[in-house]
Amino acid sequence: MTPAEMNWAGNITFGARRLCVPRSEAELRETVAASSSVRPLGTRHSFNTVADTKGDLVSVAALPRVVDIDPAERTVTVSAGLRFGEFAGELHESGFALHNLGSLPHISVAGACATGTHGSGAANRSLAGAVRALELVTADGGTLALRRGDPDFPGAVVSLGALGVVTRLTLDLVPAFDVQQWVYEELPEATLTESFDAVMAAAYSVSVFTDWRPGPVGQVWLKERVGDEGPRQAPDRRFGARLADGPRHPIPGVPAGNCTRQLGAAGPWHRRLPHFRLEFTPSNGDELQSEYFVAREDAAAAYEAVGRLRDRITPLLQISEIRSVAGDDLWLSPAGGRDSVAFHFTWVPDAAAVAPVLREIEEALAPFGARPHWGKVFGTEPGVLRTLYGRYEDFEKLVARHDPAGTFRNDFLDRHLAR
């Protein structure tokens, strides 16, 4: 392994002694059993050291491809290293869909679920919320299968790679559907704060983009399901915002060529729910990202609290996105136990300058019990995190039971989890 092995953004250089890419589950089991320190590696889209290790990094991207659709159960079992965009089309052709997708179809199923990654929509859970079962390789090279309803299952889905190397996941499916996407511009800020729930529930998936400067909010992306009546026309104005006259990128001024189609062009769910197209690199990765989840009923007040820091935020910000996420019952899900609104920040790649601003944001959001995204940059202290999750101690006990020797631990987990 060379120093060139970095995460997607280039802000983390992995300290692993080697990168292992097994091509069979037998080889994976042998690799794990022979190592005293292992961390699973996804598509490297985390912005912190959650995946780092001084031992062995293990990627499951080369394991045999599995896409097993069960029409009767309305599920699909997929190999963990697959990216969402690599099998979503196959689901659609078979008449099925996932309930939601993240902004990027480039991320792997296992990595996204293990960190609580999500899309948007008032009724849409995180991507991990669709997991019905999973299989993983444990520290001794054995295998463990868990299904929804098993006592340990809610702790094993958003697990930060602490229980083992996930090899397969079974996901719930819904009937395939089409989506139309529109962008509206210059939403009055007062309308957002006074009608927050209405704006965020205005379509199947809603994203609000802002640079936090005074004045109207920059963009509102509405992704609406196409009903039985077929595609429809969009009104020129929604909530006082005007319909964009052409395709837009979330960052104003950036060409929209790598974004999914807008202007109401109907298309399959997997070609509209993400913001970016699989066949294009969504960004050069020259950025840092942070995200914080608050209870939905606190969203307007949280927005105003962050807004009071706008003079500190805007000089370092590329763009900020606000999304709604339905609650789930997964122990370490940032949306666990409560319907949530997530405040996402895409920063310039200057960690030293961003860090003090993050501390101020975290202080401003502390009264709302803000939970950071596990795969992004945050400074929330472990002692505080423990108070934000009702099953945190249960998760620590689960990890201790399944990995008593700490094979899957790293500095990140040592910092955040008791032994």
HEC letters along 151-212: CCHHHHCCCCCCCCEEEEEEEECEECCEEEEEEEEEECHHHHHHCHHHHHCCCCEEEEEECC
Digit-coded pLDDT (tens) for 25-80: 999 999 999 999 999 999 999 999 999 999 999 999 999 999 999 999 999 999 99
How far apart, in whole angstroms, are the C-alpha atoms of residue 386 and residue 261? 41
Digit-coded pLDDT (tens) for 379-399: 999 999 999 999 999 999 999
Would the pLDDT of 335 be above 90? yes
Q: What is the CATH number of the domain that holds 131?
A: 3.30.465.10
> What confidence score (pLDDT) does residue 418 get?
86
Would the pLDDT of 328 be above 50? yes
Find tokens 């392994």 and name the residue.
1
Q: Return the structure tokens found at 402.
A: 């399944």
Among residues of the chain, what percentage have pLDDT more than 90? 93
The count of structural domains within the chain is: 1
Q: Is residue 100 part of a domain?
A: yes
Q: How far is CA 20 from CA 6, 30, 83, in A?
A: 15, 11, 19
Please give the helix or strand (H or E) that residue 395 lies within, else none: helix 392-402
> What confidence score (pLDDT) does residue 5 get?
84
Q: What is the DSSP string of 324-359?
A: EE--B--TT-TTBTS-EEEEEEEE-S-HHHHHHHHH
How far apart, in whole angstroms, are the C-alpha atoms of residue 164 and residue 58? 11
Would the pLDDT of 2 be above 60? no
Would the pLDDT of 280 be above 90? no
Q: Is residue 148 part of a domain?
A: yes
Q: Is residue 317 part of a domain?
A: no
Please give the helix or strand (H or E) that residue 222 lies within, else none: strand 217-225
Q: Is residue 80 part of a domain?
A: yes
Would the pLDDT of 1 be above 50? no
> What confidence score (pLDDT) does residue 99 get?
97
Q: Is residue 91 part of a domain?
A: yes
Among residues of the chain, what percentage have pLDDT more than 70? 98
Helix (H, G, I), strand (E, B) or coil at 82: coil
How far apart, in whole angstroms, are the C-alpha atoms of residue 340 and residue 124? 10
Q: Is residue 144 part of a domain?
A: yes
Q: Is residue 351 part of a domain?
A: no
Find tokens 């999500």 and name the residue.
118
How far apart, in whole angstroms, are the C-alpha atoms of residue 91 and residue 67? 9
Q: Return the structure tokens found at 157.
A: 């889905």
Q: Which domain does 148 fall in, by range? A: 67-176
Digit-coded pLDDT (tens) for 210-222: 999 999 999 999 9
Tell me the residue length of the chain.
419
> What confidence score (pLDDT) does residue 3 get?
39
Contact 258, 276 (CB under 8 A): yes
Q: What are phi and psi of 282, to 5 degrees?
A: -70, -25
Closest to 129 measured CA to CA, from 290, 336, 321, 324: 336
Claim: this prediction has a pTM higher than 0.95: yes
Would the pLDDT of 4 be above 80? no
